[in-house]
Amino acid sequence: MCVALPGLVISTEQGQLTGRGLEGFYRAGRRLLSRCQIRVAGREPLAVQARMTAADRARFVGTLRTSPQAGPDPDVVVERTRHADGTERITLHSAAVRPLRVPVEVALGTDLADLGAIVHGTTGPELPASVHDSGLRWSSAKGSTAVTADPPPTDALASAGLLRWELALLPGGSASIELRVRQDGVGPVRAVGRAATSPLVTARAAGDDPRVAALLRTSIEDLQALLLRDPAHPADTHLAAGAPWRCGLAPAEALAAARMTLPLGTRLAAGTLRTLARTQLRAQGPRSGMIPGPRRDAGTHLPPGCTGTEATLLFPTLLAEARRWGLPEPEIEELLPAAERCLTWLRSTVGDGSYLSDPRPGGPVRCETQAHAHRAALLGADLLDACGRPGGAELRHWAEALRTAFRADFWIDDLGGGRPAAARAPDGRLVPHLGAAAVHLLDTGLLGGGEQAPGLLDKVQTEQLARLLGGPAMDSGWGLRGLGVKEAGHNPFGHRSGAVRVHETAIAVAGLAAADYEKEASALLRGVLAAAEAFGHRLPDMYAGEQRIDGSAPLPHPAACRPAATAAAAGVLLLTTLAGIRPDAPAETVTLRPIRSAPLGEIVLTGLRVAGAPFSVRVSRLGLAMVEEAADGLQLRA
């Protein structure tokens, strides 16, 4: 899968586009080309290798024997380099001892179907082609698309959708054909991530474990590939949720990914916040101040949750933390009114109560929602105070009351030491299952001076949660399961009921490390790193929560996005957690709280951004962190 949104191309490892399943070139969810099959000398090349060379490029290699008398060795190599922008270069390399004249045929076809129709099997037949310039063209009520070739083909047969060439190959020589897929009336794909104005810096990782370099490089490439512009405000960029299923804006996921990528600069956070501020509900009513978002499956024990609630609470959190990483004051002032509206919605919705319930009547009080709300209140109060705005004291007072109530009302005592409830039903009944949503209780957020905000759990409860998350019921060896294996309804492929979700695992690693539970954090970190290696360092948003055993590999989930914004951003969070970077740009300080056990040995992170300037840090095998590059005037805080 090659991605450079709005361009996307999907194929099997054989390299041929056959029109089956999801195969094809896409632009903005429309399949412009479904079939692109090559025959050389009347035969399909034997596929010998397929690999990604970048997030938006793949290389396929096949071989041929043009003369049966030549023995078993191939004498022609066929190389296909495919780009998400709709171009493919086909190169033939000759190893024959005599000149060759090789006929090449490319069979093309399309249905101009949209992705939704393809998924549901309602695409219809291929469209008839017509000869157009140096290629073929297809038209329907959905639009038109064309494939042009350079050099132009010797023959173009519209009825068969076929282009033909006779290529001359000298001994040791090469010849190439370039195909370009274009949608009529639309210019070439200009991927945001490939532009000089991309909001993400290209940081690097190195160290004792060679996997860290590949993970960070691939994560950043995937993030670049998923970048989109707000059409009405092209200076503002945000991340699509993932390919191929979710190539548009998902507010909660976009904010979560922007937050995890703050070490790569604050420009993505600013663009995401501005884009979502324009969607904020302003009309009077109980939803005023909310960032709208769809409902999300919550597994077998709870009804679907409201991602709009999560996005509304993440908005002030991201703005407050982006300020700590160095977001310029003018941009903070611009976004502050929207953050205030989010916080006003929080306080007005809670009213005189202790908890934030689901927005629909009769909904449960979810554990993770209280964690998001508590963090938003404390970081929002910090932001309001810093900007000279009122309301901080009221938010802190409510957050303190929430902590007191939560520690008593949401904790289930049992012989194993207890656990946090997943939710409280409207009648007060606790939903007791143990799931990965509990990791959000450890994600308290960054305040000034490198301090973490207080959490909803006390010290004893935090220790018990760390023990549970690090236990075999939750840690699959590849990452954190969405639901413990002993819980009713567990399904290793369940979206929220057993599959490993990379985002939640990264949040668990960061939260456990911040709370000094390094053994559990390190085990989860090593598990995800092993899974990343199995997936070619391009992590999907989820995969099966099967137990890891010797010689096994993580099982892909058929509905996963890969690349996915939160999974790629999680790669950044996992590696920067090793160094424990906690900046306070307004105070011109940075604190380092590395994982002292150095679970991956020495690691060096270069090209990060703190206070708008390059920042590099080294963590030694002894777990000691040293700043190697930083902004002038930035002081290391003990």
Give the β-pairing of 419-420 and 76-83.
Answer: unpaired
CB 500 within 8 A of CB 531: yes
- Checking if the pLDDT of 65 tops 60, the result is yes
Give CATH 1.50.10.10 domain extents, the chain.
204-629
- What is the pLDDT, as a whole number, of residue 205? 98
- What is the pLDDT, as a whole number, of residue 226? 97
Mean pLDDT, range 453-457, rounded to an integer: 97
Alpha-carbon distance values, 4 to 58, 181, 224, 407, 595 (Å): 12, 15, 8, 46, 35
Q: Which residues are CB-neighbours of 30 under 8 A, at least 6 positions away? A: 112, 113, 114, 115, 142, 143, 183
- 204-629 folds as Glycosyltransferase (1.50.10)
**C-alpha span between 547 and 369 (Å, rounded):** 29
- What is the pLDDT, as a whole number, of residue 124? 86
Mean pLDDT, range 447-460, rounded to an integer: 96
Mean pLDDT, range 228-239, rounded to an integer: 93
User: Looking at domain 2-183, what is its CATH homologous superfamily?
Assistant: Glycoside hydrolase, family 65, N-terminal domain (2.70.98.40)
- What is the pLDDT, as a whole number, of residue 541? 97
- What is the pLDDT, as a whole number, of residue 70? 65
Rounded CA Rg of the chain: 27
- What is the pLDDT, as a whole number, of residue 120? 85
CB 599 within 8 A of CB 525: yes
- Checking if the pLDDT of 638 tops 80, the result is no
**C-alpha span between 613 and 492 (Å, rounded):** 43
**C-alpha span between 326 and 633 (Å, rounded):** 13
Number of H helices, E strands in the chain: 12, 35
Tell me the three state secondary structure of residue 276.
Answer: helix
Give CATH 2.70.98.40 domain extents, the chain.
2-183
CB 445 within 8 A of CB 430: no
Residue range 469-496, pLDDT digits in tens: 999 999 999 999 999 999 999 999 999 9
Average pLDDT, the chain: 95
3-state secondary structure 190-258: CCHHHCCCCCCCCCEEEECCCHHHHHHHHHHHHHHHCEEEECCEEEEEEECCECCCECCCCHHHHHHHH
- Checking if the pLDDT of 68 tops 80, the result is no
Whether the bond between 426 and the residue before it is cis, its omega within 30 degrees of 0, is no
- 557 burial class (0-12, 13-18, 19+ CB within 10 angstroms)? buried
Alpha-carbon distance values, 544 to 446, 502, 510 (Å): 32, 11, 22
* Residue 186 banded pLDDT, cuts 50, 70, 90: confident
- Checking if the pLDDT of 188 tops 80, the result is no
- What is the pLDDT, as a whole number, of residue 133? 86
- Checking if the pLDDT of 557 tops 80, the result is yes
* Residue 108 banded pLDDT, cuts 50, 70, 90: very high
- For residues 7, 13, 15, 16, the Cα torsion angle rounded to the nearest 10 degrees is -100
Sheet holding 30-33: strands in order across? 2-4, 7-10, 24-27, 30-33
Residue range 523-553, pLDDT digits in tens: 999 999 999 999 999 999 999 999 999 999 9
**C-alpha span between 266 and 7 (Å, rounded):** 25
* Residue 362 banded pLDDT, cuts 50, 70, 90: confident
CB 136 within 8 A of CB 146: yes
* Residue 359 banded pLDDT, cuts 50, 70, 90: confident
Residue range 376-394, pLDDT digits in tens: 999 999 999 999 999 999 9
Amino acid making up residue 183: Q
Tokens of residue 2, six digits = 């090659």
- Checking if the pLDDT of 320 tops 70, the result is yes
Tokens of residue 430, six digits = 């606790």
CB 603 within 8 A of CB 539: no
- What is the pLDDT, as a whole number, of residue 116? 86
- Checking if the pLDDT of 313 tops 90, the result is yes
Percentage with pLDDT > 70 across the chain: 98
